[in-house]
Amino acid sequence: MTRFSAPIAEQIWDMKYRLKGADGAPLDLTVEDTWRRIARALAAPEAEPALWEDRFYAALEDFRFLPAGRITAGAGTGRSVTLFNCFVMGTIPDSMAGIFDMLKEAALTMQQGGGIGYDFSTIRPRGADVLGVAADASGPLSFMDVWDAMCRTIMSAGSRRGAMMATMRCDHPDIEAFITAKQDPARLRNFNLSVLVTDAFMAAVKDDKPWELHFGGKVYHTVEARDLWNRIMRATYDFAEPGVIFIDRINAMNNLAYCESIAATNPCGEQPLPPYGACLLGSINLARLVREPFEALAELDEDALDELVATAVRMMDNVVDVSRFALPQQEAEARAKRRIGLGVTGLADALLMVGLRYGSEEAARQTERWLHRIARAAYLASVQLAREKGAFPLFDADKYLASGALAHMDEDVRAAIAEHGIRNALLTSIAPTGTISLYAGNVSSGIEPVFAYAYTRKVLQRDGSRTEEEVVDHAVRLWREKFGDAPLPDYFVDAQTLSPAEHVRMQAAAQKWVDSSISKTINCPEDISFDAFKDVYLQAYETGCKGCTTYRPNAVTGSVLTVAESSEKRPEAETGADVVYLSDPLDRPQALEGSTYKLKWPDSEHAIYITINDIVMAGRRRPFEVFINSKNMEHFAWTVALTRMISAVFRRGGDVSFVVEELKAVFDPRGGAWMQGKYIPSILAAIGGVIERHMVSIGFIEGEGMGLKSDPRYQAMAVGDTPRGPACPACGAYEMRMVEGCMTCMNCGHSKCS
């Protein structure tokens, strides 16, 4: 019998977390092998590893405790990858050498698989004097473009591109450019953006006062605070970015305020971290702990919860000791503070199982009670670890207990910390958990409401046919098993039917007992007024949230998956007719039509010959393969590589015109050449021009410069398309949706956040 309750769960395990050899052959034969691998690896630091291996295995069994993807995929594999999900990099110096040192550190971190956050507020604004070189500064946005280009070239562990968060203070002179930076769909596509909003700024907004934008003691501009706030709100209303981080509240409530200052977060926002801060994540699956679901006596097994939390804290503490780190500064920071981020998933499903409507006042009260129980159990478990193994090195009892987050902690817990210390400086955080929630049987993600109770997943087969697969929410599946086709009760609500105020209520209820932060998306209806939209952020600020992220579907952001009104009519996740999955390349026919072009690069003895062959699909001719040949042996290696790479991209289907723009953007530091009255920055750019002219000649694109400006898998909309979600970077389907806090593919389950 398989432990998986749905085919998609097993597919996620096989694709993301199953250990395989270099030849692709599975080494984890079952999910039990995966659990055993993780348990054994995390028990290694213990004095009695065999004892704790069995206890750790029991926690993992049946998806009760879900370590984050880095741990699940990497623990016990022997591979040189980090088990930490997220990092905030060092403070960026305001110097060219320092900036590029930081860029190198970011590349090394991404290479090992970590998502990173950066505060760009430390870089002088555009137009500021650069002493000693008689030049003006290009500003932080220009360097963010450099980071973005680096991220495009670094594949993080597990063949996922790195994720990045960029923050900027609300008083930086370039904040207005930062707010609108991603309104260009080809710019900063690997970044999430958030504005660091201070208490002073919020007071100025309320009082309608002027606001100074300054850097290095110099005031560059003075704006109206309300005008700047409205610009932030308008950008996120129309483009879903930037997010807002209430940075003063984060620092005031930080357990470690006495020894660190925070100015950035990880890519999803649930982990505010200091320079070189690192945090690992894991989630308690509340949906697995409800006894007698949907019955009159349904309740969460709180004794089992306490035990599971204590075991999870111990497992995560051991991750600090067994993980690799890209940089020594990250390792030193992690070991000095031993912060972990234990959270929950399946909250909405658990509320449904005990008969509560997500977003109601009673559901918020129950959420607060459950999160309080988890926080209490986690802190007491960490105290016990301190008695056994020692407190974290920077622990100072008086300063630690004086922090904002500990002020409302239970007195017996405070007394235990004062007497014995605590092993982990911070313990709780709530991540989006998109992929691991699917892996656990499609439980609701994090503290988000259920997004869709059921939807049909259409899978394109190699022969062109499609198979249909129903993906059902965990709680709905249990309801069906108990009650058959009986209608769902009225308290079954989803993300789209909730009001924004109800979303905020749930986030605020959870935040009280989460010492780090929470990744949550406030879903807003498309027709919400701008003033009502702004009120969502004010409500989040007034109710104690540490940040706010909203999603309002529109022509720019794409629509969300629509939940059918009846259980019989379910939304469908379907790819367009001309989209082919990345895992299924097009088959090559016996014969293809094509053209050969001669390219003579100035000062080169030999010409380059470029052959482009086409295939006809759905009555449309499109490029299928490229051959690049030259008698110049200096060109041999890179022309072969280019031939193979471009052909591989062409054979994947979709709109591949972005290849042209990528090639045309390459410049040669030795200089380009003038050809036919135009300056061409490199020989690669010239090849891109040849491919572009061919695409125009066969009608694949309408004219020069009219191809996609970037890889369509990362585009919000493809050229000529009606508004729809961006294409999935894993399977190519145009089914990426903002689901439960993260952009998630409704077709294959790929998540940007995990």
3-state helix, strand, coil in the chain (%, to 5): 40, 20, 45
| CA dist 564 → 389, 570, 737 (Å) | 53, 5, 16
Catalytic residue among 241, 260, 270, 692: 270
List phi, psi (to 5°) of 386: -65, -40
Q: How many CA atoms lie within 13 A of 41 on its CB side?
A: 24
Distances (CA, A) of 199 to 169, 512, 546: 12, 19, 12
268 catalytic per annotation: yes
Contacts of residue 695, Cβ cutoff 8 Å, sequence gap at least 6: 623, 657, 660, 701, 707
The dihedral of CA 631, 636, 642, 643: what is its sign?
positive
d(CA 27, CA 390): 37
Angle between helices 530-542 and 500-511 (to 10 degrees): 10
* 671 closest CA partner among 571, 609, 603: 603
- From the candidates 266, 424, 442, 523, give the one annotated as an active-site residue: 266
Cα 439 to the center of its chain, rounded Å: 17
8 Å CB contact between 446 and 82: no
Contact in structure between 718 and 712 (CB atoms under 8 Å) = yes
Burial (CB count within 10 angstroms: exposed 0-12, middle 13-18, buried 19+), residue 47: exposed
Instruction: Specify burial of residue 65 (Cβ count, 10 A radius: 0-12, 13-18, 19+).
Output: buried
**Residue indicated by tokens 């949550």:** 520
3-state secondary structure of 727: coil
**Given 86, 151, 170, 268, the catalytic residue:** 268
> Residue 89 corresponds to which amino acid?
M
Structure tokens at 73: 């995929």
Distances (CA, A) of 630 to 316, 594, 636: 56, 18, 7
Decide: 449 and 491 in contact? Cβ < 8 Å.
no
Gap between the Cα atoms of 692 and 708, Å rounded = 11
Residue 179: both structure tokens together: 């707010």
Q: 19, 37 in Cβ contact below 8 A?
A: yes
Active-site residue, 86 included: no
Distances (CA, A) of 509 to 197, 364, 518, 533, 535: 21, 6, 11, 20, 18
Pairing relation of β-strands 593-599 and 742-745?
Answer: unpaired
Active site residue 266: yes
Which residues have a catalytic role annotated?
A: 266, 268, 270
